Structure 1
Amino acid sequence: MAKFVVAGKTDCPYYAKVELLADALQQSLPNFKTRKISIPPDEWQEWLENTCKKNGWRHDKSPLVWRELVEDGGKGMFLGGFSDFLEHCQDYYSITSHMSTDLMLSVAAENLETEMNFVREEQRRISLIKPLHIWISSALNPTCQFLITNLLCTEMFPHATAISLHLLDLGGDEEGLQGLRMETEDLALPLLHQVIIHTDLEQAFLEADIIILLDEMWSAENDENKSEDEKKKKIKDISARYQVYGSLIDARANKEVKVIVTGDSFASLKCSLLVDKACSINSRQFVTMATQLENEARAILANKLKVKPSDIKDVIVWGNISGSFYIDLQRAKVFNYNGAIRGPSFFSQSVLQIFHDRKWLETDFQDLVRCQHSAVASKTCRAAVMSAANGILTVLKAWNGNCGPDEVFSLGVLCPGYYDLPESVILSVPVTFADGKWSVLFDVTVEEELKERLQLSASELTQEIKSSIPGNKRKTTE
């Protein structure tokens, strides 16, 4: 069986003549098959060059004809152009074309109009799709792989009809990003509209609705080995990048964008830098999460109380997420505890009422939470990426309205006077979510000792800010 491929510019009259001759042959000869490829004029040259380069052919005009030899184990036999195809048909089938010039031009114009109608219809179809634009920076960070599957589900975004996922990795391995894109597309998730990769800031954060920043530019595990000069230099590097991020978010992202800053180091500083530069976006749209620390604290307590980590609720993290923080259990409760008092599954007890070793809670427990990241890394030889991804998803789900009104979360937010804190710092405080917005929880006891801890965290962050941008000023929440 003869299988021919006929390709050409949609407005090319010679392509029109070859196309009609191929149709005639296919109708009159049972073993003659054709496949037609119509290319818009503005795309033809690039397509022709790529096709010829791929197959090792030399051809420079429309149309292009070759014979497919797939069934015979070959990739394709180059035939040539207009004259070559006519000559081949005359020699092998004793059939030629006597189409007039006027008819050739008429068919070419009709081909072009058909193609343009198709393009317009496709553009109209695409314009009707209003995808949610999600941007992830440092997309080659292993945390991203754990994020993607759950990020693109209807439970996370119940009102979204489609999601465009943007994977950004500055100076990253483009081949690695392509592989991640292909793997994401292979998931065949219903909400996924498209995956776009970026290795520079040319289009960064354009039309962003959700931004998740995974950049980690400093290893917190080796802080003790770093000199003060090295730390200052790294803070300046972080400052340079996040000031650019903030300006781009301000200029390109949607004004209701939700930005989550993550990382083991300088998380609050990075969030502060974004708030500074994104002047037209409400500072409440920028958060950094302490959920990972909450969950680590829950796991340690659960091990002590012989319950599941999910049985521990409402742990609060105060302070600098990447520095001096404090785990507060004043509202923490435990379910399914096997103690003197038992109740149904919804029955809970205060952790502080059943756990009486206050000294351990104030010393060893706090230290264990601080060391949990490095403990996981030493066992797995990598960062705690699963728990980091789970923390991000937990916050995002709550921010999208998928949580109870009484659930307490620890969130790094701008603190304009909350708990007598300076107005310019981002610290972790207890919040609740309702209707897609967070609110600081004031129904907690803040004693003098806790206030001193918070002032220490604030001073620590203020110093980081001074090191990054001397004389910088902050805007407060509206």
Structure 2
Amino acid sequence: MALRVVVTGAAGQIAYALMYALAKGDVFGPKQPIELVLLDISGMEEALRGLVMELTDCALPLLTKIIPTVDYAVGFKDVDVAILVGAMPRREGMERKDLLKANVKIFKGQGEAINEHAKKNVKVVVIGNPANTNALICKKYAKDIPAENFTALTRLDQNRAQAQVAERLGIPNNDVWNCIIWGNHSSTQYPDVRAATALVNGKEVKVHEAVKDENWLKNEFIKTVQLRGAAVIKARKLSSAMSAAKAICDHLRDWWNGTPDGRWVSMGVISDGSYGVEAGLMYSFPVKCKADHTYEIVKDLDVNDFSREKMDQTQNELKDEMKMAMEFWW
């Protein structure tokens, strides 16, 4: 049976970079047929038509149907997976409160449509920023969908952290694992390698011991990961697209198929109170994923004073965002 996947903001650059991997089978498996629903706002019909032509011209054997639409009822009808890329971007002069107000409207509508039209076991990942709070808004209005089915993308930040460590050590990216992103997908996030491992000269070594540079780990490394998105925009004059699309694939592949034993990944999920994070916040934790498309927060990792301060700082930002968003909930 074909898996039905909707991508919002489908005419945008992140979705464009994402579509081929989804349709080719790189995410849900080389034997899984897929129906792609391309959802965008009114006025983007012609761009969607062009995207349909390109996907058709790829002649991909797993892609059984392409549905372009600007109608929520059509877009979320019977979907198994919802990839919510589209959101109101922050424009010059826009206050964060104005941005949240605009996104409450967008994600209220999408949450209600998911609740009414999607399958009740739908898996949702929110990419559009502010991703954590947008995911929380969407969950609020999808009252009949389990809260754990809503996630926010922090895998891009994890990938950035992993790549920074690998480059520092001069080893392949795959030889670094269990980097953690705590908190918000923003400049307050806390990239943490205290529990991460690297394969160096054939031996597994804790990243902290392998790097041997406390100052770099506590300062330059953290800032590089926190501000990487802004650095890409400054250099490219456009936001991250290829790396964001790859991170979406990683997030969904692990959520769908499970993580290997001893490995975990970072996902924005609804807090259950773990690590002193207020229950109900959409906060990035290390999680283990299972083959039945469920996940659990990794428990009992050591949190020192430095980490506690960083984790609280990003939690406080998320609490402020939630309070602001709540002003516009109705």
- Same fold by TM-score greater than 0.5: yes
Q: For the residues of structure 2 that align with 1:154 and 1:306, how far apart are their CA atoms?
A: 31
Q: Is the 8 A contact 1:131 1:160 kept in 2?
A: no
1:413 Cα deviation (Å)? 0.3
1:402–1:429 CA distance, 2 compared to 1 (3 A): closer
- Please give the secondary structure, in 1, of the residue aligned with 2:156: helix
Map residues 394-413 of structure 1 onto 2, 5 A cutoff: 394-401=250-257, 403-413=259-269
More off after superposition, 156-165 vs 308-317: 156-165
Question: Alignment identity in percent?
Answer: 28
Q: Cα deviation per residue 1:237-287 (whole Å; 9 max; x = unaligned)?
A: 101110111111111110111101113x31110010011111111111111
Q: Deviations over 1:18-72 (max 9, x none)?
A: xxxxxxxxxxxxxxxxxxxxxxxxxxxxxxxxxxxxxxxxxxxxxxxxxxxxxxx
Q: Which residue of 2 aligns with 1:377?
A: 233
Unaligned segments of structure 2, at least 5 residues: none
For the 8 Å contact 1:250–1:280, the answer to whether it is kept is yes
Quote the residue 1:293 is aligned against: 157
* Alpha-carbon distance, 1:331 to partner: 1.7
Rounded Cα–Cα distance in structure 2 between residues aligned with 1:162 and 1:303: 37
Aligned CA distance change for structure 1 residues 308 and 198 (closer, same or farther; 3 Å): same
Which residue, out of 66, 69, 79, partners 1:208? 79
- RCO higher in structure (CA 8 A, sep ≥6): 2
Q: Is the CA contact 1:132–1:160 (under 8 Å) kept in the aligned structure 2?
A: no
Post-superposition Cα deviations, 1:350-408, rounded to whole Å, max 9, x if no partner, equal: 11112222122111111111222222233333222111011110111111215413221
Q: Is the 8 A contact 1:408 1:431 kept in 2?
A: yes
Which of 221, 230, 253 is equivalent to 2:118?
253
Correspondence for 1:102:
none
Q: Would the aligned equivalents of 2:182 and 2:189 in 1 still touch at CA under 8 Å?
A: yes
| Code of the aligned partner of 2:163 | A
Distance 2:328 2:43 in 1: 33
Classify 1:159/1:299 alpha carbon distance in 2 versus 1 (closer, same or farther; 3 Å): closer
Q: How many residues align?
A: 329
Q: Counterpart of 2:10 in 1: which secondary structure? A: coil
Deviations 1:425-472 (A, max 9, x none): 111010111122111001411234433333332222222122122396
Deviation track 1:318-347 (CA, whole Å, cap 9, x = no partner) reads: 111124111111121222x3xxxx33xxx3
The alignment's TM-score, normalised by the length of structure 1, stands at 0.65
**2:33 pairs with 1:168:** no
SS in 1 for 2:136: helix
Structure 1 residues 184 and 244: alpha-carbon distance in aligned structure 2, compared to 1, 3 A threshold: same
- 3-state SS of 1:203 partner: helix
Q: Single out whichever of 241-250 and 298-307 deviates more from structure 2.
A: 298-307
Amino acid at match of 1:437: T
Q: Structure 1 residue 426 and structure 2 residue 290: aligned?
A: no
Which residue of 1 is the match for residue 59 of structure 2?
A: 188
Q: Deviations over 1:119-153 (max 9, x none)?
A: xxxxxxxxxxx431110000011111221121123
What secondary structure, in the 3-state scheme, does the structure 1 residue paired with 2:38 have? strand
Q: Choose from 263, 269, 272 the match for 1:416.
A: 272
Report the equivalent of 1:280: 144
Whole-Å Cα distance in 1 between the matches of residues 13 and 81 of structure 2? Answer: 19
* Counterpart residue number, 2:210: 354
The answer as to whether partners of 1:258 and 1:286 remain within 8 angstroms in 2 is yes
In the TM superposition, residue 172 of structure 1 has moved relative to its aligned partner by: 3.7
In 2, Cα distance between equivalents of 1:449 and 1:161: 44
Indicate the residue corresponding to 2:182 in structure 1.
318
- Measured in 1, the distance between the counterparts of 2:226 and 2:308 equals 20
In 2, Cα distance between equivalents of 1:253 and 1:142: 25
Match runs of 1:18-167 below 5 Å: 130-158=1-29, 161-167=32-38
Partners of 1:140 and 1:172 within 8 A in 2: no
Amino acid at match of 2:312: Q
**2:166 maps to what in 1?**
302
CA distance in 2, matches of 1:456, 1:155: 36
How far is 1:155 from its partner? Answer: 4.8
Matched with 2:307 is 450
Task: Give the root-mean-square deviation of aligned CA atoms.
Answer: 2.1
Contact residue 139 and residue 147 of structure 2 kept, 8 A: yes
2:250 counterpart of 1:386: no
